[in-house]
Amino acid sequence: MKTKTELHNLDDHELIHEILCLQKQLEDLRVNESKSAAIHNYHFTSEKLLKLDSTHYMGSAVVLTLHSIKGVPLIEPTSISDGLSNESINSLLDDLSRTYKERIELKPTEKRLSIK
């Protein structure tokens, strides 16, 4: 992201380009936020987590990266040798399950209108 001084020194064409780039970044954040909250992700993510253990990744590694819902990096890519521990996987599965339950708590109404 450019500073105020850097933006002030841009010509009109460069400024328009910078605005378009920022709009694209914002759009990407909104799409990622929407995709990350999709209910079906919890099933597929939990299934994939089960395969990130040392049995599947012995002699290799997984890369851990976390971002906030707004796309801000919280943890830079960090290699974890021989996959995740069973405790780590189970903890992540517990967090996914908790979040899933919170998201589906508000169900459609059971009420119905009478038909004449």
Mean pLDDT calculated for residue range 28-55: 81
pLDDT digit string (tens) for 20-36?
A: 887 777 776 665 666 77
CA proximity to 1, closest of 72, 57, 59: 72
Q: Where are the alpha helices (DSSP H) in the chain?
A: 4-8, 12-36, 39-49, 54-57, 86-103
Q: Is the pLDDT of residue 106 over 80?
A: no
Q: What is the DSSP letter of 1?
A: -
Q: Is the pLDDT of residue 53 over 90?
A: yes
Q: Which residue carries 């903890």 as its tokens?
A: 91
